Amino acid sequence: MQQKYGFDHVAQIITYGKLQSKAVIRDVARVLQMPYSQADKISKMIPAGAQGKNPTLPEALEQVPELEEMRQNDPQVNKLFEIAIKLEGLYRNSGMHAAGVVIGDRPLEELVPLYKDPRADMPVTMYDMKYVEETGLIKFDFLGLKTLTVIQRALDWIKKAQGIELDMETVPLDDKETYQMLGEGKTTAVFQFESAGMKDVHKQIRPDRFEDLIAIVSLYRPGPMDNIPTFIKRKHGEEDITYLHPKLEPILKETYGIMVYQEQVMMIARELGGYTMGGADKLRKVMGKKMRDEIPKQRIMFTEGAIKNGIDEDVAKSIFDQMEKFASYGFNKSHAAAYSLVSYHTAYLKAHFPVEFMCAVMDLDMTNTDKLAGFKAECKNLGIEVLKPDVNESLAKFSVQNGKLRYALGAIKGVGEANMNAIVEAREKGGKFKDISDFINRVDAKQLNRKQLEQLIKAGAFDSLEKKRGKLFANIDLILKNISSATEMKASVQASLFGAEEYSSKVKLADAPDWPDLEKLRLEASAIGFYLSAHPLDIYADSIKKLGIKSCQEVMANIKDGDSVRANIAGCVENFQKRISKNGNRFAFLGLSDTTGTFEGMMFSEVLAKSEETITSGCPLLVKVTINKEADREAPRVMINSVQTLDQAIAEKAKGVVISVENIAAVSEIKKILYKDKRGVNKVYIEPELDDWEVRIELEGGYAFADSMIFTRLKSVSGVTSVKEF
């Protein structure tokens, strides 16, 4: 644009950032010299915004009782809120509009004040987008979509993994597999079509041509959304398509007689009302911006023009009324078509090259663990195996390996992509790491600190070198010390007499027990952001089956509008947010995950009071829920009626338990747990894992299994390999 119109004729548009609730807390806390950890904790307690509106600090104090309690009990926190509330909403900083550009017919300095942002090459107007247009300048939006990068990376992986050079410009727009996938609502990661509502619309419309996608993009917005049921019925022949006048048919035929696009309104004005192109565009603006003073003038002009074209006056007025109604939220078809083409391309790639496509998608959201968790679940639905991160196999980014998706080292929380690139470079330079000693001798101490090493161990990235994560974690100090020594030796200009031996010398790690399975999974989830290699409920699979508990995917799959379903669902706590209503009543949102996905439910004060301790116990839970699907809601509403630990539910049905152990040291810990339990009728057996013998030892007496966490405690004992009830 600058080269075409002149460097002094083109500028970006300034934006002004305000002190929002979370930011003002952090800024004021820094000035008050409060610990960062304390400020971070308070900031994270402020509820997230909804529908683009963030809660104010007074609203946050009202909604989160713990915040109000902190403010009342800590004078420093009280001072923090007093100052922050006064500053909230003030301008904090300036930035640049993501897409807005203005182009002038003369140097812009003659029209508006300009600002030179040090981060930008282009000048920036000091008027924001609201006021810059009042100077007579036109704002153009130049949109850069990361989806285009996703498509290109997917094409790169398709070429690399399958040797196919795909040109998206030649992809057919009538591909059956693509439309079948869209019609089934399998649109996760498909541009624009990802939401639950969009999935539902695709299932109902069952698009089979590109024009349907353009219509979906245009209709799925407040206002025109009301026309979706009519569009669906007419498309599937369940409702007759009618036109107020035969001349409307060629204009509205592609949208089944419904006015959807601004271009249709303009075409009706030209074909029926005798408008010029300029006049039709003016009519579009008058109707779109609801210019009350102009609409009566346009009504007369359209009616007179339509009468001249042989249309009855009453019909002409009815057509104008319909145009006025639809034009107020009509969508620009050319815009919708361009976006729909990008959507179709992503859908085509997902339908035909799912592994490469999901690899590219996950790459572009590598730092967003919430999105990665959703994409990982989608990979499972698509039958794509996601391999855990591995220092001997993974790249810093996501990669495709033999038809499977390898998790990125750089996607592990807190490790840094650049540092992981250094590890990959060391591996590519000298071959795969043979063992942990080889890794120690070849990586640079500057590229790996304690936190990064801890996260890599927790994520299981060293499992190919040492399977016992607990052992590696216990030896972190020794590993870091040896990495530092090896790095210093490589950097030293002095040749050591025993240099060669020292470079290849083995580092002997102190023996230490491995983490129990549940602890291993918990730490893995803390490093990755979600359960990857397995889920804690995998250990309970047999018990869940015996109890007849369905997965959340099975429960949610067949719920239709108007349904009210009761179900028992097992899950691990993902999030737990307590709130206070305007009436002062406590309620909470509880997010749970199982092996098939995640769901969130709401509980009121009575259930919350009974269940809070159970929810925060860290144990897998069994919740009894009522699920209602209302016609006007995108997602079902889940109400939680009761909560108990899964252990408790299993214990209520169990008659006994068999504990398998691989280490005799585990027996003393088992004894301590059982000693605290009450006497009862349930039998307990211990099975030592021996190579040559099958032995089952019956413990004297019986147990009540009164502890609601007893099975979790037993499974967490180091050396216990399984706990099975009967």
pLDDT of residue 591: 92
Higher pLDDT, 525 or 553: 525
Q: Which pTM does this prediction carry?
A: 0.76
Q: What is the 3-state secondary structure (H, E, C) of 503-528?
A: HHCCCCCCCCCCCCHHHHHHHHHHHH
What percent of the chain is predicted at pLDDT more than 70?
97
CB neighbours (10 Å) of residue 464?
15
Residue 117 clears pLDDT 90, i.e. is over it: no
pLDDT of residue 493: 47
Q: Band of the pLDDT at 721, cuts 50, 70, 90?
A: confident
pLDDT of residue 47: 86
pLDDT tens profile 488-511 = 887 774 445 454 444 566 889 999
386 phi/psi in degrees, rounded to 5: -100, 110
Q: Band of the pLDDT at 622, cuts 50, 70, 90?
A: very high
Average pLDDT over residues 394-410: 96
Structure tokens at 179: 């439309």
pLDDT tens profile 99-108 = 889 999 999 9
Average pLDDT over residues 179-184: 96
pLDDT of residue 502: 44
Of the listed ranges 181-190, 191-200, 460-469, the one predicted with least confidence: 191-200
pLDDT of residue 632: 56
Q: CB within 8 A of 445, min separation 6: which ones?
A: 480, 483, 484, 486, 487, 488
pLDDT tens profile 420-449 = 999 999 999 999 999 999 999 999 999 999
| DSSP of 670-723 | HHHHHHTSPEEEEEEEEEEB-SS-B--EEPSS-E---STTHHHHHHTSTTEEEE
Q: Indicate the DSSP class of residue 78.
A: H
Q: Band of the pLDDT at 130, cuts 50, 70, 90?
A: confident
Of the listed ranges 122-126, 200-204, 258-262, 321-325, the one predicted with least confidence: 321-325
327 phi/psi in degrees, rounded to 5: -65, -25
Residue 487 clears pLDDT 90, i.e. is over it: no
Average pLDDT over residues 132-154: 88
168 in Cβ contact with 153 (< 8 Å) = no
pLDDT tens profile 546-592 = 888 988 888 887 777 778 889 999 999 988 999 988 788 899 999 99
pLDDT of residue 585: 87
pLDDT of residue 433: 95
